Amino acid sequence: EDKVVQSPLSLVVHEGDTVTLNCSYEVTNFRSLLWYKQEKKAPTFLFMLTSSGIEKKSGRLSSILDKKELFSILNITATQTGDSAIYLCAVLPINTGTASKLTFGTGTRLQVTL
């Protein structure tokens, strides 16, 4: 059974801090790892990582994948209160038939305080 573990479960930081969120996985026939941000409603897509060692970046957020050690990190620099959310990690296996199913971790709850 595919498994995704995120750490820490929750985190409180001050505005301006840099944070690192972790995601480790065990999955048969790994294809990609995805990060989502969930505020009060729908998860919104951040990154999809398929290749090891290649950083993806969007503004103050960046992420990298290590396929040998089976983990990914999501970095947020110069955090703002608007970064407060649950960050979800999910893995996507190679499609062996119809549609590919995401397996999600339980998320990291980040709170950024003034």
Partner 1 sequence: DVKVTQSSRYLVKRTGEKVFLECVQDMDHENMFWYRQDPGLGLRLIYFSYDVKMKEKGDIPEGYSVSREKKERFSLILESASTNQTSMYLCASSLRPHYEQYFGPGTRLTVT
Residues that bind partner 1 (CB under 8 A): 31-32, 34, 36, 41-45, 48, 88, 90, 92, 95, 98-102, 104-107
- Between the alpha carbon of residue 4 and those of residues 8, 57, 72, 80, 82, the distances in Å are 13, 22, 11, 27, 26
**Please, how many CA atoms are within 13 Å of residue 30, restricted to the half-sphere of its CB?**
24
Closer CB to partner 1, residue 25 or residue 36? 36
Whichever of 48 and 61 has its CB closer to partner 1, that residue is 48
106/113 with CB nearer partner 1: 106
Whole-number minimum distance, CB 88 to partner 1, in Å? 7
Q: How far is the CB of 35 from partner 1 (least distance, A)?
A: 10
CA quadruple 98, 27, 91, 50: dihedral positive or negative? negative
The alpha-carbon radius of gyration of the chain (Å, integer) is: 14
C-alpha angle 51-18-7 in degrees, rounded to nearest 5: 60
Nearer to partner 1, 17 or 38 (CB): 38
Work out how close the CB of 65 gets to partner 1 at its nearest, in angstroms, rounded to a whole number.
15
> Residue 47 CB, nearest distance to partner 1 (Å)?
9
Coil/strand/helix, residue 102: coil
